[in-house]
């Protein structure tokens, strides 16, 4: 990344970090974008340049990193094993602070209706992308019921653990997702 890109990434991360802090301290609805801008020491217009809507301050798209890891999973891995591989790669690439912030975002998404609605669009898009990627890896049509079933099983397990993890922050979410997906590997 160029110096300019690194500065942009730092500014974006700072804005999101301050937003999460304020949401935690004041609540999502009570926090304004102007307060986030002030806390991050940037103009409100800068916040909107990086995050077009308040909901976007919470949403974080891990899809590109996850999909890159899924695409690069060894070809001999079945679909569930490939997803486990990709999730392990993603978890290993995140710092403890990133994992904690991710959990905080996920808890907000589950408890704030506006965020749930915004995240649902991302979730449905991600499910379709996972389905297409698994179909391509298996040499099957995305409309194949087998691909639909595998994708649904994988996403269902991840979602179930995600809900539990949001209620119990002490849980080792990545390890529990890996354990739960291991039980599905019989489908490979």
Better-predicted residue by pLDDT, 163 or 102:
163
What pLDDT, on the 0 to 100 scale, is given for residue 59?
80
What pLDDT, on the 0 to 100 scale, is given for residue 109?
83
% of the chain beyond a pLDDT of 90: 61
**pLDDT of residue 188 exceeding 80:** no
Over residues 138-160, the mean pLDDT reads 95
What pLDDT, on the 0 to 100 scale, is given for residue 170?
86
Can you read off the two tokens belonging to residue 46? Answer: 């800068």
| Average pLDDT value over all residues in the chain | 90
Per-residue H/E/C for the chain: CCHHHHHHHHHHHHHHHHHHHHHHHHCCCCCCHHHHHHHHCCCHHHHHHHCCCHHHHCCCCCHHHHHHHHHCCCCCCCHHHHHHHHHHHHHHCCCHHHHHHHHHHHHHHHHCHHHHHHHHHHHHHHHHHHHHHHHHHHCCCCCCHHHHHHHHHHHHHHHHHHHHHHHCCCCCHHHHHHHHHHHHHHHC
What pLDDT, on the 0 to 100 scale, is given for residue 172?
87
Over residues 94-120, the mean pLDDT reads 83
% of the chain beyond a pLDDT of 70: 98
Over residues 137-163, the mean pLDDT reads 94
What pLDDT, on the 0 to 100 scale, is given for residue 60?
66
- What the chain holds in terms of domains, given with CATH numbers, is 3-53 (1.10.10.60), 58-187 (1.10.357.10)
Model pTM?
0.77
């Amino acid at each position: 990344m160029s110096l300019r890109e690194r500065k942009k990434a730092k500014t974006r991360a700072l804005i999101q970090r301050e937003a999460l802090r304020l949401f935690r301290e004041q609540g999502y609805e009570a926090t304004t974008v102007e307060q986030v801008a002030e806390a991050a020491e940037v103009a409100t217009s800068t916040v909107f340049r990086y995050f077009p809507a308040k909901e976007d301050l919470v949403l974080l798209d891990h899809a590109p990193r996850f999909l890159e890891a899924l695409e690069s999973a060894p070809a001999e891995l079945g679909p569930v094993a490939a997803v486990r591989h990709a999730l392990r790669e993603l978890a290993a690439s995140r710092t403890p602070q990133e994992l904690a912030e991710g959990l905080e975002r996920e808890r907000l998404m589950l408890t704030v209706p506006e965020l749930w609605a915004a995240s649902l669009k991302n979730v449905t898009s991600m499910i379709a992308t996972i389905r297409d990627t698994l179909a391509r890896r298996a040499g099957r049509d995305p409309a194949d019921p087998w691909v639909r079933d595998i994708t649904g099983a994988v996403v269902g397990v991840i979602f179930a653990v995600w809900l539990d993890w949001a209620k119990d922050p002490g849980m080792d979410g990545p390890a529990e997702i890996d354990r739960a997906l291991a039980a599905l590997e019989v489908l490979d």
